[in-house]
A and B are shown apart, each in its own frame.
Chain A
Amino acid sequence: MATQRTPLPYWLIAPILRGSGEVWIGVALWIAIGALVTAAIMQARHRTAWKGALLGAILGSVGGVLLLAPLWFGLVSLLDKRCPHCRKHTRPDAASCSRCDHAFAEAPRLDAFLATLTNLTRVILTIELALLAGGIILELSGKDALDTYGVLFEWGLGTPRARANSLLAATPIIFTGLGTAIAFRAGIFNVGVEGSLYMGALFAAWVGFTFTDLPALPLIALAFAVGAVAGGLWGLVPGYLKARLRVDEVVTTIMLNYVAIEFTSYMVQSGPFFVPGMANAMSKTVAEQAQLPQLVERSQLNASFILALLAVVVVIILMSRTRLGFSARMVGDNPLFARWSGIMVGRTILLVMFFSGLFGGLAGAGQVLGVHYNFTARFSRGFGFDGMTIALLGRNSPVGVLIGALLFGALRSGGTTIEVFTDVPIDLVDIVQALIIFFVAIDLNLDFLSRRRRAKTGPGAAPASAAA
């Protein structure tokens, strides 16, 4: 799953392209963004009636476009390249002048910036399209879309407490997103991070309630370490099967997820960690000193969030600066070439799957030590699958994963309160999430609109690898 895809058309990031006919699409999309954002903000602040909000939205969007557009165009044209020979302006991602064919010197920072911009736009658009679709569903069911989104916005990002809760919700997803992204980058379609999460959670909890004589820091460190290793080892199972026996990893990881869920449930429901007298299926509570300190009052945001941020940095270093990161990228880009170059593909697969599971384990450990303070059977609300979604959304880049996780976290966190303040059921959040995932899956792939015909055969996925 290499990160190389057809880049988004330029018209999406620079609505006015000299002489381009696709201007209107870009402009329309930006108007929509403006409308939505303006309306949500207005609603959150003033809670005006929806008619007023709509009007405000229109005015706001027009004003927004009028304000934003020149700013945006101005910014983009600042980036334009100017041919030293014939003085023609060309788009910043051009490799050579369109008139005189003079090759431009390499500008890595500019290219990187444009790439980031493109990816960011893609992320925003995906989420935005999903929100739009969700809004339409809301309106069709007789609910007030603007009102709902206003609440969502306020309770996701409006108050400090809301923000803290969003970060809290984002924490496990950062870990699972990183874990999944590592594997995807190496061309391994690992759907099993959820299972690693459970294993990590279980064993971290075990450390937490067993080694109660240890002081805080060593106990916490040990718990995280054991949880991470447990998750990593769990990832090694499908990794070994793939590396040594060439068993396709998609189906095995899906199945092993369920094995992990059942196994860990067993451990607390009737197995060694069973606590008699407890109504729910949960383990003993971890020692007090192992419970992670809270970062903010009135929110369960805890130190595992800091760890998650550190993890992002670690993965950035891992993928771009270590030998394993290099071999993982090469295996993901062209496994045959990797073999010819002497890269040990089998070993790379094993290590990648270990690290992939490791981050899943950290996710679980973080939840145990920071939120629940014990291991409860089936506690995960699909953190692993969320991680997969944002890995795709963020194009397997650690920063992209972070941004995606923050967005998802805000959505989830804000979503839980919707039911309280509006008459919209919480399931709407599930629907919006599903739409986001759906749009991510499609990857805003508008190729089918283009005149170039694609290959005649279908996607041809299973039983072999289902990587897109």
Chain B
Amino acid sequence: MDIVSLLDATLRISAPLILVGMAGLLSYQVGLINIALEGMMLSGAFAAVVFGYELGSTWLGVLLAAAVGAALGALFALAVITLRANLIVAGLALNFLATGGTAYLMDILYDQSGTLAPEGLSKLPAVTIPLLDDAPVLGEILSGHSPLVYVSWLMVPLTSIFLYRMVVGGHIRAVGEHPEAAQTAGISVKGMQYLALILGGLLCGLAGAHLSVGDLPLFRERMTNDRGFIALAAVYFAAARPRLTAAACLLFGFFEALQFRLQLRDTVLPNEFLQMLPYLMVVVALVVISVRKEWRKGW
């Protein structure tokens, strides 16, 4: 097995996970479980292809994908915060809406079903980092990725700074942990929740764009393939700490890359166990957290 290509693939595959992870992280910090990450990502993927093709510029497609994601985030926020919808069910609804909506639009607009690969749509140009690219091993791994991969890396410290260095971020965290305290301090609880969900949607839109136009420029139905939930698992595993979440996303991306390569040969370790590992890890992490809490209380 070629380690270098494995690591290279890991970085590529974990990029959308990291972006969605940051989105899920923001929701967590503001006190809401965001099940709709999947749907927002899928919509972003679709939007990137459609707008990229219609407007003749893949970059514009990416931009609008982010906008679509943000709009869906706003819709979700409207349902859950203002209309007081059930959080989980509304998230599910959004996901189904995205799945059905993208497939429907694909048919209506382009008379295609299954896959949408418009002629003339080019994928995002690969970025080569000048000096690094020539380096023997690291060069192959780190350089030459789609720009959104590097964006995803950037998002981690950005999210960190946003949450922990900026006033707004502190307010978001306060709202998530102790809404009454935030309220009394004059912070708008609903405002912060809206903000977190909209920003999250934006990030999901970017993640989706990477999936579709960052690789082979096409959109396939359901192409997100539950990545939204894997990213959610990463968030819960890492208890919403940005760097740890990103690390978990890298790990899960690694699993996926590994599993793809293992599939091509007979191995002892079944693929499915790799695939279930993220979810199991979350359950274990939650159990550990609870046990520690009970321990402190003295059972």
Contacts and interface: CB of A to CB of B under 8 A. Distances in A.
Contacts of B287: 241, 245, 247
B100 A245 contact: no
Contacts of A427: 99-101, 103-104, 107
Contacts of A392: 86, 89
Interface stretch (B11-19, B77-85, B154-162, B208-216): B77-85
A274 to B, nearest CB: 10
A434 B282 contact: no
A462 interface: yes
A379 interface: no
A457 interface: yes
Interface of A: 141-143, 189, 191, 241, 245-248, 250-252, 254-256, 258-259, 262-263, 265-266, 269-271, 385, 388-389, 392, 425, 427-431, 433-435, 437-438, 440-443, 445, 447-448, 454, 456-463, 466-468
A368 B168 CA distance: 53
B79 to A, nearest CB: 6
B286 A248 contact: yes
B151 to A, nearest CB: 27
A191 B95 CA distance: 15
A254 B226 CA distance: 12
Contacts of B28: 462-463
Nearest to A423: B107
Given A262-B273, A462-B33, A245 B291 contact: yes
Contacts of A270: 270-272
Given A271-B270, A463-B33, A468-B87, A458 B100 contact: no
Looking at chain B's contact residues, the main secondary structure is: helix
Interface of B: 27-28, 31-33, 35, 79-90, 92-97, 99-101, 103-104, 107-108, 113, 175, 179-180, 183, 189-190, 193, 226, 229, 232-233, 236, 270-273, 275-276, 279-280, 282-283, 286-287, 290-291, 293-294
Contact of A466 (B33, B232, B276): B33
Contacts of B283: 241, 252, 255-256, 259
25 contacts: A141-B104, A191-B88, A245-B287, A245-B290, A246-B293, A248-B286, A250-B33, A250-B88, A252-B286, A255-B279, A255-B282, A259-B276, A265-B272, A266-B271, A270-B271, A389-B92, A392-B86, A425-B108, A433-B100, A435-B93, A441-B85, A442-B84, A447-B84, A458-B175, A468-B84
A463 B239 CA distance: 10
A191 B273 CA distance: 22
A329 to B, nearest CB: 20
Given A245-B294, A266-B273, A442-B79, A437 B279 contact: no
A375 B272 CA distance: 16
Nearest to B194: A458
B114 to A, nearest CB: 11
B179 A255 contact: no
A443 B103 contact: no
4 nearest interchain CB pairs?
A430-B100, A462-B33, A266-B272, A434-B96
A466 B88 contact: yes
Nearest to B90: A441
Contacts of A435: 93, 97
Contacts of B232: 254
A430 B99 contact: yes
A459 B97 contact: no
B175 to A, nearest CB: 8
Contacts of B82: 448
Contacts of B273: 262, 266
A438 B91 CA distance: 9
Contact of A441 (B89, B104, B180): B89
Contact of B92 (A385, A458, A460, A462): A385
Contact of A255 (B97, B104, B233, B290): B233
Contacts of A191: 88
A448 B85 CA distance: 12
B263 to A, nearest CB: 10
Given A430-B100, A441-B85, A466-B87, A456 B189 contact: yes
